[in-house]
A = this chain, B = another copy of it.
Amino acid sequence: MKKLINSPDEVVTDALAGIAAAHPGLSVDTKARVITRAAQTRIGKVALVSGGGSGHEPLHGGFVGTGMLDAACPGEVFTSPVPDQMLAAAKAVDGGAGVVFIVKNYTGDVLNFRMAAEFAEEEGISVQTVLVDDDVAVQDSTWTAGRRGTGATLLVEKMAGAAAEFGGSLAEVAATGRRVNAASRSFAVALTSCTTPAAGRPGFDLPEDEIEVGVGIHGEPGRSREKIRPARQIVADAMAAILDDQPLDPGEEVIALVNGLGGTPLLELYIVFGEVASVLAARGVRIARSLVGNYVTSLDMAGVSITLCRADEELLTLWDAPVNTPALRWGV
């Protein structure tokens, strides 16, 4: 295992130092392990806090900034952050209008954010939680009861973030986040495993000619092992899984995210996007907006996830709203 790290113990601390050096618009508390915007929350604006295990960058720290998150709490690699981090984040960014926790559906994250919400309420901060569970691959998984939260997290953070900038109340911003999650479905395929710095070897074995269909973002098992096939067939199967779960009628619009898991070249992600576009065109579904790149990753895993969010005018307005974060930036 070769990695550009100093030592497995220092990975998160060292990466936070790099994030602090690279992004003057962020404020990084390397000790408390909280990333916030450098500017304080506007009084009366609902604040958004997310977090989760490290190893999925740019999620979540790369989504802190105007129009998206107010704070992110990175845990150790593939390990939930602790309630103290989330509480520190909530206290740092509450602008008096309350805090929305955006939580990917993994047992550790759910429990720790729940505890943090209780602590925050005790300190007089109102909290609403939005649970993200968009991955249609499997019900229940290695670290999850119910569906896993994956690519839709970006969409929830973007659109709930815009709703907060537009002055939405705590209930309204949380409702927006839940609506985005309910409108989104994802499916992922892995071509390789990934290696955490602490383990130093791949998290699972995948033979040289096989893929994991329906993989989770920590390498959790999916639906099946299959032989590697042309991208067109891999995408057709992934799209069938998504569209079986949430049929889309001709004339409907989607926001489409083709997301690299970390080790896949952008060249291949564009090939996948082309196949996604073909499947949708054949159904008469219009891609209203799209993103292609590495956004919700699994360290060095080769593979891709596809997320479709059924869009309407309101969601597109929220999507198009200005955003200024390290990983997403437009309109500013």
Contacts and interface: CB of A to CB of B under 8 A. Distances in A.
A98 to B, nearest CB: 31
A287 interface: yes
Contact of A57 (B22, B232, B270, B290): B270
A34 to B, nearest CB: 16
B231 A14 contact: yes
Contact of A268 (B5, B294, B303): B5
A42 interface: no
Interface string A262-280: 1111111111111111000
A177 interface: no
Contact of A329 (B14, B191, B330): B330
A31 interface: no
Contact of A55 (B4, B209, B265): B265
A300 interface: yes
A18 interface: yes
Interface in A133-159: none
B302 A302 contact: no
A15 B330 contact: no
Nearest to A295: B266
Contact of A18 (B7, B58, B270, B299): B270
A300 B264 contact: yes
A234 interface: yes
A208 to B, nearest CB: 7
A192 B232 contact: no
A168 interface: no
Nearest to A15: B270
A259 interface: no
Nearest to A59: B266
B330 A4 contact: no
Contacts of A290: 21-22
A211 B4 CA distance: 11
A225 B107 CA distance: 44
B2 A211 contact: yes
A304 to B, nearest CB: 6
A287 to B, nearest CB: 7
Interface of A: 2-7, 11, 14-22, 54-55, 57-58, 62, 77, 191-192, 208-209, 211, 228, 230-232, 234, 258, 262-277, 287, 290, 292, 294, 297, 299-300, 302-304, 326, 329-332
Given A4-B269, A6-B231, A15-B267, 14 more contacts: A2-B228, A4-B234, A6-B230, A11-B267, A14-B271, A18-B271, A18-B273, A20-B274, A21-B277, A55-B265, A263-B300, A265-B297, A265-B299, A292-B326
17 contacts: A4-B272, A4-B304, A14-B275, A15-B267, A15-B268, A15-B270, A17-B277, A18-B272, A18-B274, A22-B273, A22-B277, A57-B265, A57-B267, A57-B270, A77-B267, A329-B329, A331-B332
